Homo-oligomer: A and B are copies of this chain.
Amino acid sequence: MSDSEQLSSRIHVNPQPSGKIGKSERTRAAILNAAVDFLWTHPFRDMTVNSLMASTGVGRSAFYQYFKDLHELMEILLDTVKGEIMAVTGPWFTGVGDPVVLLRESLDGLVEVCYQQGPILRATTDAATTDERLEKAWAQFIKRFNDGVTTRIEADQAQGLIPDFDARPVAIALNLMDAYTLIEAFGRRPRSKPEQVREALVRIWISTLYGSEWLGNESSNLVRT
């Protein structure tokens, strides 16, 4: 367990089509930032519209001009993280080169992003249990991963790099492992050490898919002999 800096990443306003930044945009961003700040220091269950708006300059009811409810706000926060995660895990899904190396890189990136955004992810899954819409958004996010991983496993199976087994259930289990391990490790303070978490996930993925003989030090073997 280690933790020191916690600069919760800020949300910035998109300049308008008109070029200027309106009052509306500023308030909206202020609310989103207040939410991020709040979630770095409190669980989602303690977030009320009141407690949230208290730290902005404006009154409670203004909230509803920007968001339908707290869950819609969470869905928007999820979208920002979703983008980062998709970007960083791309390599293994699409990349060319040694699959083991690519897998390592993707997991590295995933751990890094989740370390930075842990509280948002935890709050999202927490909030999803009380809202059908958000629950579906989360499920869909996970499903994209399940599809991607399944496809990649099947491709590598066709090449004889991965033994033959029913790919989808394994993909689902591994993805759920990632999601909840990372949320558990980084979703609240004190956060676990990222290296330990990464080592564990890498070990499990590689042992399961490519075989533990590929676990040797970092990036030694680039092609199968």
Contact = CB atoms under 8 A, between A and B. Distances in A.
B166 A200 contact: yes
A104 to B, nearest CB: 16
Interface string A106-143: 00000000000000000001110111100000000000
Interface of A is mostly: helix
Interface string A132-175: 10000000000000000000000000000001011001101110
Contacts of A190: none
A180 B172 CA distance: 10
A172 B184 contact: yes
Interface stretch (A6-14, A95-103, A201-209): A201-209
Contact of A207 (B44, B125, B176, B208): B208
A199 interface: yes
A192 B37 CA distance: 39
Interface string A27-58: 00000000000000001110000000000000
A203 B168 CA distance: 13
A51 B170 CA distance: 38
Interface of A: 43-45, 125-127, 129-132, 163, 165-166, 169-170, 172-174, 176-177, 179-181, 184, 192, 196-197, 199-201, 203-204, 207-208, 211-212
24 contacts: A43-B132, A44-B129, A45-B129, A125-B129, A129-B129, A130-B130, A169-B192, A169-B196, A169-B199, A170-B204, A172-B181, A172-B184, A173-B197, A173-B200, A173-B201, A176-B177, A176-B184, A177-B181, A180-B180, A203-B208, A207-B208, A208-B208, A208-B212, A212-B212
Nearest to A181: B173
A165 B208 contact: no
A204 B204 contact: yes
B177 A173 contact: yes
A204 B208 contact: yes
A222 B6 CA distance: 51
A179 B180 CA distance: 10
